Amino acid sequence: MKPAINPVTGTRSIDEQVPMVDQQRLLVFIDRKTEVVTCVDTLELGPGVHTHIGIHDRVPLGAVIVRTRGAKGGIPICVVYRDLLRAMRGEGYAEDYYDEEIPTLTMALGDAHWALQAVHDSDDLRDPEMVAEREERLIAIIRLAAEGSSEYKERAGANAERALQLLDKLGRGNPMAAAMANWGVTVQLDKQLLQALGAGARVSKSHLAIVQALTRIWESIRHADIELASMGRWWSPGRKQPLDLAQAVRLASRVERIAAPLKLIHAAPYAQMPLMLVLADQLDELGRMLCDEERFMNAGPLVHLIRESLGLLLIHRRLAQALIVPAKARRFKRAFTDIEVQKLNDDVHTLLTEVRVMEHSLSLGNPGLISSRLVVGLSEALYGVFRQFQADEVSPEKVYEGLQGVLDLYKTH
C-alpha cells in the first residue's frame, strides 16, 4: 500500500499508512519540518497525545495539534487547538513570550555569572558595595524564578537564596558554600535558556506553518471571489457579445477549478461552517447550470449569490485578524493603547457598514436561509461590539468576547 498523502499539505500520514477505513477523511497528518499536525476529522489517535490536562485519545473536527518537545510514557506531548485561528493566536502568544523570555534569561544568566565571580574577586565579600550589588542581582533572579513554574527556574531560585547566605550556622564566613550555590544558579539558568531557545525555535516554525495554512485558505477564498467577479460580466445588462453554450461550458471548467481547493479545506473553523457546505453546493449547481443548454443564460443570479457567500467568508477573515490585538491584550492582562482603540474602532465600523450593505442587498433578492440569518446575526453582534468603543474606557476582555461571539456565529448560521 502506498503511503497516504494529505491533499492539503502534501505530507505523509504519521505512520505512512491509512489508519482507518475511510481513506479520505479520517487521517492525521504531520509536517515533519514544523511538527504541526492537522486533524481532518474527529478520530482516534492510537495511544493518544499528552497535553497539560492529561491524555487525549480523540480530538474535535478539524483540530490542530502542535507537538512540543519530548514525550511522556512514549506518548508525544502536544498542544491541541480547536481550530486554526486559536492555533495562530496560541502560538503567537508563545512566540511573544519567548521573544521576551530569552533576552530576560540571557541577562539573568549574566547576572548569575557576575555574582559567582564576585565571590572570588572581593576578598571573601568584605566590600560592602560588592555585597550589595551581588545581593541585588541574586534577588532579581529569585523574583524571576517566582514568576514561572519551570523546574529549572525553581532550582535556580532555591540556589540563589542559598547563595545569599554568606555565613554558616555558626556565623562564620563561608564563601565556598555561597560559591557552590551560586554555581548551581548558573547551571540551572543555562539549562532554562537552552530549553527556551529550543522551544522558541519550535514555536516560530509552528506559528509560521499555521499562518501559512490560514493564508492558503484565505487566498483560495479571495481567488474564488475575483474569478466569480470576472465571470459575472457575462450576464451584465446590454452586453454586446452574448454568452453561448460553448463559452458557458468553458466557464463551468473554471468553476470546477475554483471549487477544488475550497473542497480540500478540512481544518476548523472552516470545516465546522454551514456556510462552507452551502458554498460547495452553490458552486456544484453553478457548474451544472452552465453545462445545461436550457439554464446557462439564467446562471447570473447564482453567480451573485455565490459572491455573497464568499463575501461573508472574507469578512470572517478580517474579523479573525481584528481579534488578534484584543486577544493579546486579554492574554497578557494589559490595556489597549490609544492607537489600538482607534484602529479597532475603525475596523469594526467598516465591517459593520459592509454587513449592513449586504443585509440590505439580501433583503432585496432571494438569499439562502443560512446566508440571511448569518448576515442579520453579524449585523446585530457587530453593532454590540461597535457600541463598546463609545465607552470612556474600552475593555480588551469585552471586545475580545464580542468579536469571538461574532466569529462563533459562523459555526451555527
* Cα gap 324→396, rounded to integer Å: 11
Top-level class of domain 243-412:
mainly alpha
Residue 80, φ and ψ in degrees, nearest 5: -105, 120
Q: What pLDDT was estimated at residue 408?
A: 93
Beta bridge partners of 62: none
For the chain, what are the domain ranges?
A: 1-82, 88-202, 243-412
**Interatomic CA distance for residues 407 and 410, integer angstroms:** 6
Asked if domains 88-202 and 243-412 share a fold, the reply is: yes
Per DSSP, the three-state class of 150 is coil
Q: Are 382 and 356 in contact (CB under 8 A)?
A: no
- Of 395, 325, 394, nearest in space to 96 by CA: 325
- In sequence order, which residues have a C-beta less than 8 Å from that of residue 120 and are 6 or more positions away? 179
| Other CB atoms within 10 Å distance of the CB of residue 358 | 21
Residue 214 contacts residue 316 (beta carbons within 8 Å):
no
Please report, for the chain, how many H helices and E strands are present, in that order. 10, 6
d(CA 29, CA 14): 6
SS3 59: strand
Measured CA to CA, the distance from residue 220 to residue 85 in angstroms comes to 17
Measured CA distances, 373 to 129, 147, 205, 275, 338 (Å): 72, 47, 39, 11, 34
CA nearest to 243, candidates 286, 290, 297? 297
Backbone phi, psi, residue 322, to 5°: -65, -30
Question: Is the CATH number 1.20.120 carried by domain 88-202?
Answer: yes
Alpha-carbon distance values, 233 to 29, 237, 249 (Å): 41, 9, 16
Note whether 398 and 388 are within 8 A (CB).
yes
Residues in the chain: 413
Q: What is the pLDDT of residues 280-292, one digit of tens each?
A: 999 999 999 999 9
Q: Is the peptide bond before 269 cis (omega within 30 degrees of 0)?
A: yes
Distance of alpha carbon 337 from alpha carbon 326, whole angstroms: 11
What is the DSSP pairing of strand 43-51 with strand 64-72?
unpaired
403, 383 Cβ separation under 8 angstroms = no
How far apart (Å, rounded) are the C-alpha atoms in residues 5 and 27? Answer: 9
Within 13 A of 94's CA, how many CA atoms are on the CB side?
22
| Predicted model pTM | 0.76
For residue 207, the model assigns a pLDDT of: 84
Cα–Cα distance, 174 to 177 (Å, whole number): 6
Helices (H), 123-174: 128-146, 151-163
Residue of 378, 380, 388 lying closest to 316 (CA atoms)? 378
Ranges under pLDDT 70 in the chain: 1-58, 69-72, 74-76, 121-126, 168-173, 365-370
* The C-alpha cell that represents 254 in the structure block: 473554471
The rounded radius of gyration (Å) of the Cα atoms in the chain is 29
Question: Which own/partner contact pairs does 332-338 have at CB distance under 8 Å and 24+ positions apart?
Answer: 332/93, 332/96, 334/396, 335/396, 336/394, 336/396, 336/399
pLDDT for the residue 317? 95
3-class SS at 5?
strand
Amino acid identity of residue 59, one-letter, is V
CA distances from 45 to 20, 57, 84, 267 (A): 11, 5, 19, 17
